[in-house]
Structure 1
Amino acid sequence: MQAHLDQSRWCISQMGHLAGDVTAAAVSASIVTPAVAIIDRSLVEQSAFNQPILRGLRRHALGALRQPGLFIFQRPFGIVWALYAATYSVANVTDTITRKLKITAAGTITFATTMLANVPLALWKDMRFAKEYGIGPGPDAKTSRSTVPLQVKSLARMAAAVFLLRDGVTIFGSFTLAPWLSDAIPDDLAYSPVIAQLTVPVLTQLVATPLHLFALDMYTRQYTVPFLERVRYSQQYLPSSTLLRCVRIVPAFGIGCLANMELRAALHTKLA
C-alpha cells in the first residue's frame, strides 16, 4: 500500500514538472516573440526590397505599440510564438524525462529532440515570412519584386537546406555549446551560466547570418543567377544584418533561454 502511494506521489510530481516545463516555455515565448517578429520581418524586407532596416524596425515597432492587440493576433506574432513555445517545450520536457530516467546522454538527446522540433518550425517560419514579406509590393509601395516564373525549381529546396544548416549552428550554440562552456568556466567566476548563455548564441550569428541571407535570396529570387553574383547580392547587407541578428538572438536564445530556465526551476520547486 505504501509503495503504491509513493508511486502515485512520484507520478503526480512528474506531471507537475512537465506542466511547469510547458508553462515556462509558453511564458518565455511570449516574452521574446515581439522583438523577434519585428526584427525578422524587417530583415526580410531589407533583403528583398533594399528597404533601410531602421525604417522597417521603426514602422513595425510603432505599429505594435499603437495597436498591441492587433499586433499580437497578427500572423507574424503567432508564427514566431509557436516556433519558440514548441522549441522551449521540447527542450524542457526532454531534459526532465531523460534526467528522471538517469540517462547518461541526456544533453545529446535534448539537443537532438530540440533540433527535430525547432528546425522544421523555423524553416516553416522563414518560408512564410519570405513568401509574405519578400515577394510582391514593397512595404512602402515604392518598391516591388514581382513573382518570376520559376526557372530553377530546386532553388527552394536548396534554400531550405541552407536554412536547416543555419538553424543547426544556432541550436548547437544555444542549447549544447553554451552549457558546455558554462561548465568549463571556473566556479569562482560569478554568473558564468548567464555569461555563456548570452554570449555563445550571439557569436554563432557570425556564421549563421551569411547562411541566412544566402538562403533568403535563393527563395525570393528563384531564377538563374550566377553563383558569385548571388553571393555578392545576398551579402550586401551582411554587416547590418549580422548586427541585427546578434541583437535578435539575445531575446530569442539568451533572455528567452534564461527566462525559461529560471521559470522552469521555480515551477519545478513549486509543483514538486
Structure 2
Amino acid sequence: MHHALQEAQSSNGILQRLTGDLCAAAASATLVSPAVTIIDRAIVEQTSLNQSLLRGLRTHALEALRNPARFVYSAPFRIIWTLYAATYTVANGTDTIGNSMMIPATGMITFASTTLVNVPTAVWKDVRFAQIYGTLTHACEGIQKKPLVPNRSFMRGATAIFLLRDCVTIFGCFTLAPRLADAIPESNFLAAHPNVKPVITQLTVPMLTQVVVTPLHLLGLDLYMRQYTMPLADRLTQSQRYLASTTMVRCIRILPAFGFGGVANLEFRSLFHKTFDVS
C-alpha cells in the first residue's frame, strides 16, 4: 500500500514537471518567434530576390509593430512558433523523464530526440518560407523567379549537409552548453549567482556553433541552387564567398532562437516547476 502511494506521488510529480515543461516551451517560443520570423523572411527574400538584408529587416519589423495582430496570426509566425515550441517541449520533456528515471545517458537521449523533432520541422519551415517568400514576383523591379528543376542527387547531398548542420547546432545548444556550464571554474561571484554559468554558455555556445555550421550551410545552399556538376574546388570557392557576412548574420539569428530562447526556456521551466510545487 505504501509502495503504491509512493509510485502514485512519483507519477504525479513527473506529470507536474511535464506540464511545467510544456508551459515553458510555449512561453519561450512566443518570446523568440517574432524576431526569428522577421530574420528568416529577410534572409529568404535576400537569397531569392536579391534584396537588401537590412532593408528587409527594417521593413518587416516596422510592419510587425504597425500591425501586431496581423503579424502574430500570419502563417509564417505560426510556422516559426510551432518549430520552437516543438523543439523546446521535446528537449524539456526528455530531460525531465530521463532525470526522473535516473537514466545515465539522459544528455545524449535529449540531444537525439530533440534532433529528430527539430531537423524535419526546420526543413518543413524552410520549404514553407521558400514557398511563401521565395517564389514572389516583383514586376516593378523586373524580378521574375524561374522554377527550379530538382536533381535528386544534388537534393540528397544538400539535405545531408543541412542535416549535419542542424545536428551540430542542436548538440551545441542542448548538450554542449550545459556541459560547458558545469566545467566553468567556481568563483565567489559565480557561487553567489548560480544561474550565471548556464546563461553565459547558453548565449555563447550557440553563436560559436555557427562558425562551424555556416560553411556547411553555404555549401548546402550552393548544391541546392546550382544543381549541375562542377569541380569541388570551384564549388567551395563560390559557396564561401560571403562566409564572413553570412556567419555574422547567422550568429545574430541564432541568439533569439537558442541563445535568449534557451535562457528563457531554462528560467520559465524553473518558474513553472516551482509554480506546480515541484522541487
Q: TM-score normalised to the size of structure 2? A: 0.89
1:34-183 pair list within 5 angstroms: 34-137=34-137, 141-150=141-150, 152-183=151-182
Residue 156 of structure 1 contacts residue 222 of structure 1 at CA under 8 Å; is this kept in 2?
no
Q: Report the CA distance shift for 1:138/1:179 in structure 2 as closer, same or farther (over 3 A).
A: farther
CA distance in 1, matches of 2:258, 2:140: 31
Equivalent residue pairs, number: 270
Q: Report the CA distance shift for 1:120/1:149 in structure 2 as closer, same or farther (over 3 A).
A: closer
1:245 matched to 2:250: yes
State the AA in 1 paired with 2:160: A
- Tell me, which stretches of 5 or more residues in structure 1 are unaligned? none
Specify the SS of the correspondent of 2:252: helix
In structure 1, the partner of 2:263 is 258
Two-structure CA RMSD over aligned residues (Å)? 2.1
CA distance in 2, matches of 1:139, 1:160: 32
TM-aligned CA deviation for residue 131 of structure 1: 3.6
1:11 matched to 2:15: no
CA distance in 2, matches of 1:140, 1:116: 42
- Tell me, which stretches of 5 or more residues in structure 2 are unaligned? 191-195
TM-aligned CA deviation for residue 170 of structure 1: 0.6
Q: Report the CA distance shift for 1:180/1:53 in structure 2 as closer, same or farther (over 3 A).
A: same
In structure 1, the partner of 2:186 is 187
TM-aligned CA deviation for residue 40 of structure 1: 1.3
State the AA in 2 paired with 1:20: G
CA distance in 1, matches of 2:183, 2:49: 44
Q: Report the CA distance shift for 1:240/1:179 in structure 2 as closer, same or farther (over 3 A).
A: same
TM-aligned CA deviation for residue 3 of structure 1: 4.1
Specify the SS of the correspondent of 2:119: helix
TM-aligned CA deviation for residue 8 of structure 1: 2.9
State the AA in 2 paired with 1:264: R
State the AA in 1 paired with 2:159: A
State the AA in 2 paired with 1:92: N
TM-aligned CA deviation for residue 182 of structure 1: 0.8
Q: Report the CA distance shift for 1:270/1:262 in structure 2 as closer, same or farther (over 3 A).
A: same
Kindly provide the CA deviation profile for residues 78-124 of structure 1, in whole angstroms up to 9, marking residues without a partner as x: 11111111110001000010111011111111111111111111121
CA distance in 2, matches of 1:142, 1:181: 50
Percentage of pairs with the same residue = 51
In structure 1, the partner of 2:193 is none
